[in-house]
Chains A and B, each alone.
Chain A
């Protein structure tokens, strides 16, 4: 295991990462560097291990070997800010069917920020993001009543409501209409300009979103 001081890279850096799933090795001694202000496209076939790799980078899945660093500190280090800086949007949308859109979104926003938020301000923010996404006025609708595409949009709204420095997005473009794809690309580019790091997967080429780095996961 390497020392913290060896790592000179800012952003997210995976060192000698070995990940396996049900006794099948998906990655062996992989090095991966996601610098600040970059957008990285992760591609690979179905079942190649894209999601597994993302979950490992998000710290949800322990690596068999190797370490993931965020701004030179291991992400498991007590002083690491990684989990405050990270938004990980997985396949499962993580929203409660029993709560309204606004309740779902403000729950995550208030979990993220330790200080108590100005409620009115947060509600306004939520309304304006939902407007941009074309689902304005549905704030009080129960999450379960929305269509799949709309539910997906609600999950994406979190990106605008929670401060972060790195986005790890698993298939963010699936289920989205043309307009929302453009919206997400625009937001990702703006995020990049502010020094943000983006990692996303997709099965299709996204024309709207210029990428800086492309990483492939392949079967052995």
Chain B
């Protein structure tokens, strides 16, 4: 089930890549404008880097939520999927596909934006970049999972983008706080395992509950 659905999602995405490119482009543009607007000074940028990159990543994820279940809901594919397998499985495979298409590209692009924000300024090694990537690897799936719950709850409402944002942003904030502070801790040469552990804990908790909750909500939205 998961593999079949995943293959289909990737095929659809490949033929509809513009929709996925927009949130990614947004991520790059927001971060790359900061050096122009604030200051091209390396120490200043370095200090801003964790917050700026994380906020941009969060907004980009929020932007891409719009496409989560929407097209499947509109063309009726969602109800066929719900007839053919359990709601939790449907939600889990959609979430996995969505993360691979939106979260993973952010992670891959983040070192580039790290360079742009002078994240490794003053050090010989590239630990900071790795910590940034690691924090995004742990954080973005959580954002995806939470977003899935929000989207599936509001599917039946027209123009649900704003509603989802209001519902979901409070839940995104803890992830943002610990995500950005992981990178900040690394920049200040402090231990960052604690923050990473909390990001991991967020991920595990949402991994357990979100597919189930999202599946239930899908069932209600379709009914």
Contacts and interface: CB of A to CB of B under 8 A. Distances in A.
Interface of A: 55, 58-62, 83, 86, 88, 90-99, 103, 107-108, 110-112
Contact of A111 (B11, B71, B84, B223): B84
B39 interface: no
B15 interface: yes
A92 B81 CA distance: 13
B76 A58 contact: no
A55 B83 CA distance: 11
Contacts of A58: 83
B191 interface: no
A114 B54 CA distance: 41
A103 B77 contact: no
Contact of A96 (B4, B75, B83, B223): B75
Contacts, number: 60
Nearest to A108: B80
Interface residues of B, number: 22
A92 B75 contact: yes
Contacts of A86: 83
Interface of B: 1, 4-5, 8, 11-12, 15-16, 71, 74-77, 79-85, 222-223
B84 A95 contact: no
B152 to A, nearest CB: 15
A58 to B, nearest CB: 7
Contact of B79 (A60, A97, A99, A107): A60
B76 A96 contact: no
A107 B12 CA distance: 12
B77 A95 contact: yes
A99 B12 CA distance: 6
Contact of B83 (A62, A88, A93, A95): A88
B223 A60 contact: yes
A112 B81 CA distance: 10
A93 B78 CA distance: 11
Contact of A94 (B4, B8, B75): B75
A94 B77 contact: yes
A22 to B, nearest CB: 12
B180 to A, nearest CB: 36
Contacts of B12: 96, 98-99
Given A83-B83, A94-B80, A98-B15, 8 more contacts: A60-B79, A60-B222, A94-B75, A95-B77, A96-B75, A98-B12, A99-B15, A108-B84
A108 B1 CA distance: 11
Contacts of B74: 92
B8 A92 contact: no
Contacts of B76: 90-94
A111 B77 contact: no
